[in-house]
Structures are given as C-alpha cells and as structure tokens.
A and B are shown apart, each in its own frame.
Chain A
Amino acid sequence: MIFLKDKQAIVFSLLTSIIVLALYLLFLKGTFVDAVNSGIGGFPELAGRISNDDIDMFANFILLTGIIGSALITVPYNCLTTVVKDRENRIDCDILATPVKRWQIILGYYVSAAFSAILLTGTILTVGLIVLELQGNMYMSAGNVLSLYGVVALGAISATAVFMIIVLFFKSTGASGAFFGILSAASGFVIGAYIPISQFSDSVQTVCNLFPASHITIMLRNSALNGLLDHIADSVGKDAGEPFVDVLKDLFTFKARLFGHELGMTQMPVYVLAVLAVSLVIQTALYSKTYKK
C-alpha cells in the first residue's frame, strides 16, 4: 500500500487516462459523435429520432470506459514498481531476513498492488459515474453498476498478475520507468481508447485482444452501455433500432476478435480468468526462484 502514499506516482500512473480525457475534450468526443451520426446515416428512417442527449451520453461512456481501461493497465503496473524499488534499494532483503515466508512476500506484493489498483480505478469509475449521472440519464440498473465494479476488480487483478511477471525482469527503477513510458503510450491504442479496435485489421485486433485489458474494456463497455443502447432501440422502435444498435456495437467494439473468432460477454471473462490463472502459476515459479539467490 506504499504506492498510495506517493502522490506523484499516482498522478503519473493516471497519465494515459488524463491524456485520453484531454484528447476527448479537444476532439475525440466530436469523432465519436460523428461516428454515431454516420451510423444513423445508414438508417434514413432514424434521422432526427435519436436524441442528442443519448448520443452525448453514449460518447461520454465510450470515454469513461477508455479512461478506466487504460488506467487498468498503467495503475497496476505502477503499483508494482514497488517490487522493483524494493529490489533496487534492497528493502526485499530486510523482509527476507524475517520469519515471513517467501510465498507470503510474493502474495503480499501481489495483493497490495491489486488492492491499490482496485481502489484507484474504482475511484475513477465512481467519480465518472457521478459526473455522468449529473449530465443526464445513464439508463443503468443497479446490476449494471455492480457488474462495472466487478469488471474493474477483475481487470485490476488480472493486469496485476500479468505485470508481476514483467516487473521481475527489471533490476532498476530507470528500466522499469522506461518500460512504463512505452506502456502508457501503447495502452490507449491497445484497449481502443482513441480508435475502437474494430477499426483495425483482424491480425491487429488479435494482437490487441491478447491483452486481458482489452477484454476488460469491452466488458466495461457492454456493462455500461447496454441499458442506454436498449433505450435507444426502444425509443425508435425495435425494427429499426436493433439493427442500428448492432451497427453501433460493431463500430465501437462490443465483442473481442481473437484469431478470427468473436468472443462475447460469456467468453471474455473466461479468457481473462485463464490468463490470470496462467500468470499466477508463472509468477509463483519465477518468484520462488528469484528469492532463492
């Protein structure tokens, strides 16, 4: 939990999310709204029947899920830089000389980083939901809200597990910082915060969707927007509304494509859990070796 004591580190961990927000305020919102309107263009009978408030709310939610998706990459990684700092400053030696078991040390690093990540990204989600609620109707049920928090928790836990393996290879905070630079630059693209992943080729989509964070972002999008999309479909009549909503879902990536196969809301959590399980096995093997120098 030491990470939460370092205000600068918290700000830097949220840098990508801040950039996503800044770009949204500058031009991304316009791009998202234009994309929705171009979707409406394919359904002439819907012209003027979908309220601007709903379109705005849709764009806002795409932003919020993008912010949280990128935070679910950068925050867990930053929380885990404590592992690198402790090795660099030999703080881990101080712990290794105590009766604390080796597995407890590994678990301690993992749990504290995952918990810090859940706390931070959960806070972002809460603030985001409050801001959006003040702007209009979100059409979200309590179940939707709960599932959002559940997905955030799963995202934090899975990303932390993957990064536990990666941080092991860094011996200095300099090297880990350089990697973080690359990570924060790439994370916005990988999870589709700037451009929806569905706009890319199949192979690029596969690469992006190898990362559990992309699945998490798509799951967040589904949980956050299904209510609003149902409302849009209902407001214009199911016959025209449902095909239009399908177009929107294709355009803004509501399913993950992996090696040419589509993964829906039931398969994506399974994929993330599988990555989590494999990562936990690998990290246990690697760390037990590391602490036997």
Chain B
Amino acid sequence: MNAITVRNLTKDYKNHRAVNDISFDVQEGEFFAFLGENGAGKSTTINILCTILEKTGGEAKIFGNELGKDDDEIRQSIGIVFQNSVLDGKLTVKENLFTRGAYYGLGRKEIMKRLDSFMDRFELGEIWGRNYEKLSGGQRRRVDIIRALLNKPRLLFLDEPTTGLDPMSRKIVWDYIDYLRKEKHMTIFLTTHYMEEVRDADHVIILDKGRIIANDTPAGLKNRYTGAKLLWYAGRNPDNDRLIRDFVYDYEADHYIVMLPKKEDFALTEFLYRNNDRIRDYEVIKGSMDDVFLNLTGRKLGE
C-alpha cells in the first residue's frame, strides 16, 4: 500500500511557484528522502502533505485519505519534526508534551504510558521538569521527535531534523530514526541537504526549484548520474601517464585519480584486466550523492 501518493502537486505564492507539478509515491514502511537546496520546495511539499498549507493544484493521498477532504484522518496518522523547534520555551518538557498530547485527545495517563518507552532511550527523565528554552539543541530535538511520536503516527515527516546539531546529538537522533524504521516499520519521509543522511534511504527524490529532477534509489542515482574513480597507488612517470592517457586523470601525493565515465564500469574492468601486471595497488570509489547533485544541477549542495 502507498503511504503517500502525489500527482501533479503545485503550490503558488503570488508570483512564485514553489512546487511545480511534482508526482511521486512512497510505499508504506519505506525510508523516503527529499534532497535539495534551501528554497527547492522541500518544506513546502511537507507542509502541504501535513495539511498545514493548501495546495494550488494536483492531488495527494496519505494512506488512501485524500488531502483537502480527509484532513482529520491524515492528521491522526502523521507526525512531524519541523526544521525549527516548535514547542513553547516557557513550558517544561512535561507541560509541552501534555499540551501537545491533548491536541490528539490524549489524557495524562495515556500520554505517560506512551512516553514510557522514551524515558530511557531519549534520556527524557533528566530533562522532564526543565523549561524547553533552557535545553541544549540536541535535547530540544529529542523532545521534538518524542512530541512527533505522541500520537503513534504511521508516517513520520522529518524536515531537516539534524540541522545545527552537534555530531553526538545527530547520532542519537539517527539511531532512533533507524530504530523506528527497522523495529517499528514506520514510514519515514525525510527532507535534508545533508548527502550522507540519504545514503540509507530506500528512495530519493532530488528537488530543484520546485521540480523533481531525479527519482531513484541512492544506488540507482549514483549509477545513472555519476561515474567511478580509480585510485591507483603508483609513482608518477611517463610510462604510467601513457597507460591511462585515454581517461581523464589527475595525480595527488602518491596516487593517480582516474575518472571513469558514468555507465561505463565495464571499461574499468576491462582496463584493469588488461593491465593487471602493472596496476596492482588500487581502489575503486563509486560516485557519491554529492556527485549526483553536482551532475544534475551543476552546483554543489550548499553553494
């Protein structure tokens, strides 16, 4: 079953089209990622799917519920971690979670029952009575995630959840997201501009200026939009240069970097086989998601 079905979704703001005729599907239980620069339309799409913004055109369904018609059902089935912290700074963690739980019609007993599993995993106990505004960035994010899970959502939206976090907090957040995916089989919809965060995604969409410019698995994107690099550890000399003259190459410190065109991995295999007497110390590095983005847009992410 599709967790999300989007067809020809469009969002206009006065003279600006933020989301431009996008269509995609997200399978239930999938880890789905939206990759793109700031202003690409990632958050706008999430806000439409979460019923916060109204779409200008197109259709969307969440677990079969139609956006704009079955919004109450959609809201019950989703959780969202926003880019910025959206809890009340003057309230304690406990007060914030009780207030948010009440929005879903949950009583205190039920909220406490649901929070039980977070107490240890997210070290909630130690920050329970502290004002939200006095928490560190990492602690806040943990509470944000717990808040998003209060209503036991089937689909969790994560809008750049680790932006601005220290490495330790990022790791804690990602460990928990992995747990939700693998143990709870929760559908995860992530937007990010960190390439490494989409490495484990089942599906990645790259958005640029409101349009989908690529839609595939991370491996598929790399295969389609990047080539491999051969690092050949050897001294630089005219003989070696001659051997790789048919490729684009460079030399760094103690090794050659040989660029292999995309979709032509076989050329590498053939080349290595033919020269196995001379090329003995080497490694092959596949293209990264950074390379995918660079090849697709002509820009580096974050430029």
Contacts and interface: CB of A to CB of B under 8 A. Distances in A.
Nearest to A108: B103
Interface size range on A against B: 10 to 19
A95 B103 contact: yes
B90 A6 contact: yes
Interface string B77-110: 0101010111110110000000010011100000
A59 B136 CA distance: 52
Interface of A: 2, 5-6, 89-91, 93-100, 292-293
Given A98-B75, A98-B104, A292-B54, 12 more contacts: A89-B86, A91-B87, A93-B82, A94-B86, A94-B147, A95-B103, A97-B80, A99-B72, A99-B76, A99-B103, A100-B103, A293-B52
Interface of B: 47, 50-54, 72, 75-76, 78, 80, 82, 84-88, 90-91, 100, 103-105, 147, 151
| Interface of B (DSSP majority class) | loop
Nearest to B71: A99
Given A89-B84, A93-B47, A98 B103 contact: yes
A91 B52 CA distance: 12
Interface centre among B82, B87, B91, B151 (most CB of A within 10 A): B82
B91 A97 contact: no
Contacts of A97: 50-52, 75, 78, 80
27 contacts: A2-B91, A5-B90, A6-B90, A89-B85, A90-B86, A91-B87, A93-B47, A93-B52, A93-B82, A94-B82, A94-B86, A94-B147, A96-B52, A97-B50, A97-B52, A97-B75, A97-B78, A98-B75, A98-B100, A98-B103, A98-B104, A99-B72, A99-B75, A99-B76, A99-B105, A100-B103, A293-B52
Contacts of B84: 89-90
A292 to B, nearest CB: 6
Contacts of B53: 293
Contact of B88 (A90, A91, A99, A293): A91
Contacts of B87: 91, 94
Contacts of A5: 90-91
A108 to B, nearest CB: 10
